[in-house]
Amino acid sequence: MQAANSMNREDLLYRYFSHTLSPSQKKALDELLQSDADFRRQFEFEVNLKHAIQKTENEKLKAKLQGFEAEIPNKTKKPSWFNSRNIAIAASVVLLIGVAGFYHFFGLDHSALYEDNFKTYPNTVYSITRSDSENTVERQAFVAYETEDYGLALEKFKQIPADLRADYIGFYEGQALLNLGRWDEALQHFTDIVENGQSFVAESHWYLSLIYLHQKDKTNAAKHLKTLMANYTYNRDKAKALLDKLN
């Protein structure tokens, strides 16, 4: 029975990372993440590992394209189109649009474009140093957040009493969820912020666009990018550049 459970968990992880989860499997995964600490740690480790691998592969691709022209004189029997001028143009285009743009252009993976644009929002609301003499749950949450222990940060954020819970907490919970790869929960947090007019509305539009991008929902990604550009200054240039790539 234990072996079967292990196999089911490995299958859920495989389907999650290959974007083939059915609705029932997605529900099972979310329930395991909530109830099984060991599974949650394994999941978080593999999410972080995937991010690291993606970053490394992006850098390798960029270096390889930059090296194409230098390698050409050593090649023989090249096809007619494979010449220095054409390769230089191709490399220039890839470097211009970015590695993620290259992936998107060839329809390989929206997640690469997500990785190229995602950056965790910094703690701008709670000074750790000002509270050295305190040990509140909120302080513990932000200490964990700043040390990138997002699982612990999320746990502590949820422990903050309702009467002490500032409206920016939901935004940082969403950030933690993003870093843990819990896209649907993060999407709900940022959606609530936008709908209720809480702190970080503009920023939430940006992260909603990235979540929808990761989910290959170009329509909703574009909707939030356009809203951001029309109403706010936060990441306006980045939003325009990303929208151009989606179009």
Best CA proximity match to 170, nearest among 185, 183, 149, 148: 185
**Ranges of each domain in the chain:** 2-35, 53-109, 129-246
Dist. CA 29–CA 51, nearest whole Å: 20
Q: What is the pLDDT of residue 125?
A: 93
CATH number of 129-246: 1.25.40.10
Vertex 217 angle, CA 215 and 223, to 5° = 125
Q: What does each of the 247 residues of the chain score in pLDDT, given as a tens digit?
A: 344 354 477 777 777 776 677 778 888 888 888 888 888 888 887 777 766 666 666 566 666 665 655 555 554 455 554 454 544 545 554 444 454 444 444 453 577 788 889 999 999 999 887 555 678 999 999 999 999 999 999 999 999 999 999 999 999 999 999 999 999 999 999 999 999 999 999 999 999 999 999 998 999 999 999 999 999 999 999 999 999 888 8
Long-range contacts of 109-117 (CB under 8 A, 24+ apart): 110/213, 110/214, 110/215, 110/216, 111/54, 111/214, 112/54, 112/58, 113/213, 113/242, 113/245, 114/210, 114/213, 114/214, 115/51, 115/54, 115/55, 115/58, 116/58, 117/210, 117/213, 117/238, 117/242
Dist. CA 95–CA 91, nearest whole Å: 6
Q: What is the pLDDT of residue 131?
A: 52
Rounded CA Rg of the chain? 21
Q: What is the pLDDT of residue 65?
A: 60
Q: What is the pLDDT of residue 204?
A: 97
Dist. CA 145–CA 207, nearest whole Å: 17
Look up residue 174 and give its two tokens: 């969403």
Best CA proximity match to 175, nearest among 202, 143, 138, 148: 148
186: helix, coil or strand? helix
Cα 175 to Cα 128, 167, 195, 208: the distances in Å are: 18, 14, 17, 11
